[in-house]
A and B are shown apart, each in its own frame.
Chain A
Amino acid sequence: MTELIIASMMTMMTAATPLMFAATGELICERSGVLNLGVEGMMLIGAVFGFATAAVTGNASLGLLAAGASGILASLIFAFLTLTMLSNQVATGLALTIFGTGLSALVGFDYVGETIDRIAAIHLPVLSDLPVVGPLLFGHDPLVYLSFILLIGVALFLNRSRWGMILKAVGDSDVSAHAIGYPVVLIRYAAVAFGGLMAGLGGGYLSLVYTPLWAENMTAGRGWIALALVVFASWRPERVLFGAILFGGITILQLNAQAAGLGIPAAFMSMLPYIATIVVLVLISRDVVRIRLNAPACLGRPFRAER
């Protein structure tokens, strides 16, 4: 029984990792006041370019770099359209997702059915062999740790650093931030690019580690879950961790319940995270102060500098 619980927890943590990457990036992006609905598209682009690079060079780490870089490039298209050309963020984000789906299918066409060497799990002598805590703390692939480190970094950045305060100021009142003299558009560009990097890494995690293969539309909606996750976390990084494990874990729990023959309908379990999101939304909407504290006030609004 202990073994089953440990094994399930390990599987849940890997299921949560792509969500953590994508949601952490989107959180920074939204905190700067930009709503990028293109997460799913950027994840797919990251997944396909990461896989293609790994397949061609035979080096999965290079693939991961390519995944992140292609995510940034995709997000910069979005940034140029919404921040420089002032197009509608919702429509542009949706377009980015549709574009990413198509582009990834096109690029990936020749790579369907190819194999690569995945990025392997680390194994530390002594530590990884400890009972219970060994596999749980020291037995994952490096990207699981990277996602944790990045999340902690983002939490510290937002809550403890001057630049974090500036980022939040830009998201909460672009006009004031501009008046004080901060380069609002430039900061938003950086935030969007960070979101792209993280979505790309999340996609790369899927195609390079989770299931080392490329298949059309292989993210299967995880980008949308990441978006819901940011709202669920009410724009607080520490809650992203909890949400990602809940959202990622529910699938694993659902499959576990089936395999154990508990007879709980799979569809019911699958909708639980979304019900949780709605409940959280309703709860935080009831409290006006809380919303003001968390949701970026300028989210989704275009900004044009007045001179």
Chain B
Amino acid sequence: MHQRVWAARSGQNDNRSKDFTLTNTGGNTDMKKLLKLTTVMLTVLLSLGAVTQASADKLKVGFIYIGPPGDHGWTYAHDQGRLMIDNMLGDHVETTFVEGVPEGPDADRAIAKLAETGHKLIFTTSFGYMEPTLKVAKRFPDVKFEHATGYKQADNVSTYSARFYEGRYVQGQIAAKISKSGVIGYIASFPIPEVVRGINAFMLGAQSINPDMKVKVVWVYSWFDPPKEADAAKVLMDQGADIITQHTDSTAALQAAAERGIYAFGQASDMIQFAQDTQLTAILDNWGPYYVKRTVDVLMGTWSSGDTWDGMGPGMVGMAPFTNMPSDIAMMARETAESIRTGAFHPFTGPINNQAGEEVVAAGETADDGMLAGMNFYVKGVDDKLPQ
């Protein structure tokens, strides 16, 4: 049974890389660069004889997952990253994962268990693992830890996250081009800066095409509740939204939209098989290059604690193929993604006003990372009151 699943998954993986070639949003070239870089590094590494004992003594890398690797969302994307380590560094590295670890005391034990069993690099892939990671890290000073989406570092604890908002800006533009009703339905999880930032980026993208676009927001207060996500999508469509986008983890909203022939965006991974005729694109979480880089750092002894927040540029955020839309809109989306990737354009470029109409980013300036990281206001035009 397992065999079949793994085969299916790696199959999807192959498709993904093909898609990258098709859309050419930049991920591909970065991937090549990275591959080259890694090969060079490894050659250096081997010639120095640093890992002559490699075959007998592989570096063990551990992963802590909040959900099952087959959730087709958040955890799935992290697991793809793990598989990239296996594929590229398999001769020197051995990976392990623990799935379905609840955020709390259980996380402590799961992380410590990995550290005790000889894992020298451990990725903890959910926000709620922040304190447990720091606690365990104190007990194992010679083990390196990487915590996703957190903000507390230590000598042996790094943090990393991705600038998903870059993809949301592109989605906003596409939505504004395609929508006939001028109303977008946005299914949101929890009112935290990460989610609010996404809504704002989407809105700014939409407004750059049509200043009168409306975004209706529904909070479901869950990352993963398929029936409720579907309900939210239905309600938004009932209220006139003709494009659905989501910041929750399941495919239910996309499917609910597909059933009515309404266009929608996938989330965290390419969900095209759930909505062949209605998925416009999806934001792809592409953790692989970062995971490979950090693993190589540990292999070479150059790992140091830090905070990484990467976007399309380094390829941490990607876009699924632009499907089910006219070619001129796909072209526009590609161009926007490209200018974000090269750094020529920042989604949060002023003038940006908040809902009260006060200017928060002046014309020509861009929002700094501090403002982005703690974002707790809506930009003008969002049709919702931010829950506090």
Given A4-B239, A211-B252, A256-B239, verify A113-B76 contact (CB < 8 Å): yes
**Which of chain B's residues have a CB closer than 8 A to the CB of A263?**
385
Q: Using CB atoms, name the residue of chain A closest to B382.
A: A261
State whether the Cβ of B72 lies closer than 8 Å to any Cβ in chain A: yes
CB distance from A3 to the nearest CB of B (A): 8
**Which of chain A's residues have a CB closer than 8 A to the CB of B250?**
211, 213, 215
A8 CA to B181 CA, complexed, in Å = 19
Chain B CB within 10 Å, residue with most, of A7, A258, A266: A258
Given A112-B71, A261-B383, verify A212-B255 contact (CB < 8 Å): yes
Taking a contact as CB atoms under 8 Å apart, the answer to whether A258 and B255 are in contact is: no
Taking a contact as CB atoms under 8 Å apart, the answer to whether A7 and B227 are in contact is: no
Q: Among B37-45, B103-111, B137-145, B217-225, which stretch is in contact with chain A?
A: B217-225
Q: Among B27-35, B150-158, B229-237, which stretch is in contact with chain A?
A: B229-237
**Which of chain A's residues have a CB closer than 8 A to the CB of B219?**
258, 266
The contact of A259 among B216, B229, B273, by CB within 8 Å, is B216
The contact of B5 among A110, A256, A260, by CB within 8 Å, is A110
State whether the Cβ of B1 lies closer than 8 Å to any Cβ in chain A: yes
Taking a contact as CB atoms under 8 Å apart, the answer to whether A213 and B1 are in contact is: no
Chain A CB within 10 Å, residue with most, of B2, B221, B235, B239: B235
Taking a contact as CB atoms under 8 Å apart, the answer to whether B238 and A211 are in contact is: no
CB distance from A148 to the nearest CB of B (A): 20
State whether the Cβ of B306 lies closer than 8 Å to any Cβ in chain A: no
CB distance from A244 to the nearest CB of B (A): 15
Q: Which of A254-302 contact B (CB under 8 A)?
A: 255-256, 258-261, 263, 265-267
**Which of chain B's residues have a CB closer than 8 A to the CB of A220?**
225, 227-228
**Which of chain B's residues have a CB closer than 8 A to the CB of A265?**
387
A15 CA to B259 CA, complexed, in Å = 16
A210 CA to B228 CA, complexed, in Å = 10
State whether the Cβ of B102 lies closer than 8 Å to any Cβ in chain A: no
A212 CA to B230 CA, complexed, in Å = 10
State whether the Cβ of A252 lies closer than 8 Å to any Cβ in chain B: yes
A206 CA to B228 CA, complexed, in Å = 11
Given A112-B71, A251-B228, A258-B218, verify A213-B235 contact (CB < 8 Å): no
State whether the Cβ of B226 lies closer than 8 Å to any Cβ in chain A: yes
Taking a contact as CB atoms under 8 Å apart, the answer to whether B239 and A115 are in contact is: no
Taking a contact as CB atoms under 8 Å apart, the answer to whether A8 and B238 are in contact is: yes
State whether the Cβ of B193 lies closer than 8 Å to any Cβ in chain A: no
State whether the Cβ of B91 lies closer than 8 Å to any Cβ in chain A: no
Taking a contact as CB atoms under 8 Å apart, the answer to whether A11 and B226 are in contact is: no
Taking a contact as CB atoms under 8 Å apart, the answer to whether A113 and B238 are in contact is: no
CB distance from A209 to the nearest CB of B (A): 10
Chain A CB within 10 Å, residue with most, of B76, B216, B218, B231: B231
The contact of A109 among B70, B229, B273, B274, by CB within 8 Å, is B70
Total residues of chain B contacting the partner, CB 8 A = 47
**Which of chain A's residues have a CB closer than 8 A to the CB of B264?**
none
State whether the Cβ of A74 lies closer than 8 Å to any Cβ in chain B: no
**Which of chain B's residues have a CB closer than 8 A to the CB of A212?**
255
State whether the Cβ of B384 lies closer than 8 Å to any Cβ in chain A: yes
State whether the Cβ of A218 lies closer than 8 Å to any Cβ in chain B: yes
Taking a contact as CB atoms under 8 Å apart, the answer to whether A11 and B70 are in contact is: no
A108 CA to B170 CA, complexed, in Å = 35
The contact of A211 among B2, B220, B226, B273, by CB within 8 Å, is B226
State whether the Cβ of B185 lies closer than 8 Å to any Cβ in chain A: yes
State whether the Cβ of B256 lies closer than 8 Å to any Cβ in chain A: yes
**Which of chain B's residues have a CB closer than 8 A to the CB of A267?**
221
**Which of chain A's residues have a CB closer than 8 A to the CB of B274?**
115, 213
Taking a contact as CB atoms under 8 Å apart, the answer to whether B256 and A211 are in contact is: yes
Q: Using CB atoms, name the residue of chain B closest to A220.
A: B225
**Which of chain A's residues have a CB closer than 8 A to the CB of B286?**
none
The contact of B224 among A109, A215, A255, A260, by CB within 8 Å, is A215
Taking a contact as CB atoms under 8 Å apart, the answer to whether A259 and B236 are in contact is: yes
Given A4-B239, A213-B250, A259-B236, verify A109-B68 contact (CB < 8 Å): yes
CB distance from A243 to the nearest CB of B (A): 18
A118 CA to B252 CA, complexed, in Å = 13
Q: Using CB atoms, name the residue of chain B closest to A9.
A: B238
A295 CA to B240 CA, complexed, in Å = 45
State whether the Cβ of B200 lies closer than 8 Å to any Cβ in chain A: no
A11 CA to B2 CA, complexed, in Å = 38
State whether the Cβ of B251 lies closer than 8 Å to any Cβ in chain A: yes
Q: Using CB atoms, name the residue of chain B closest to A14.
A: B234
The contact of B227 among A109, A206, A256, A260, by CB within 8 Å, is A206
**Which of chain A's residues have a CB closer than 8 A to the CB of B67?**
216
Q: Using CB atoms, name the residue of chain A closest to B187.
A: A255
The contact of B70 among A8, A113, A251, by CB within 8 Å, is A113
**Which of chain B's residues have a CB closer than 8 A to the CB of A206?**
227
Given A113-B72, A115-B273, A213-B226, verify A256-B235 contact (CB < 8 Å): yes
A110 CA to B67 CA, complexed, in Å = 14
A68 CA to B288 CA, complexed, in Å = 43
The contact of B72 among A8, A15, A112, A256, by CB within 8 Å, is A112
Taking a contact as CB atoms under 8 Å apart, the answer to whether B230 and A259 are in contact is: no
Taking a contact as CB atoms under 8 Å apart, the answer to whether B234 and A11 are in contact is: yes
Taking a contact as CB atoms under 8 Å apart, the answer to whether B5 and A218 are in contact is: no
Taking a contact as CB atoms under 8 Å apart, the answer to whether A255 and B72 are in contact is: no
Given A258-B217, A258-B219, A259-B218, verify A251-B231 contact (CB < 8 Å): yes
The list of the 7 closest CB pairs from A to B, nearest first, reads A7-B238, A112-B70, A255-B235, A113-B72, A211-B252, A211-B226, A211-B230
User: Beyond the given A259-B236, A261-B383, could you list 9 further A-B residue pairs with CB under 8 A, ordered by the A residue number?
Assistant: A110-B4, A115-B273, A211-B250, A213-B252, A215-B224, A218-B227, A220-B228, A252-B235, A259-B185
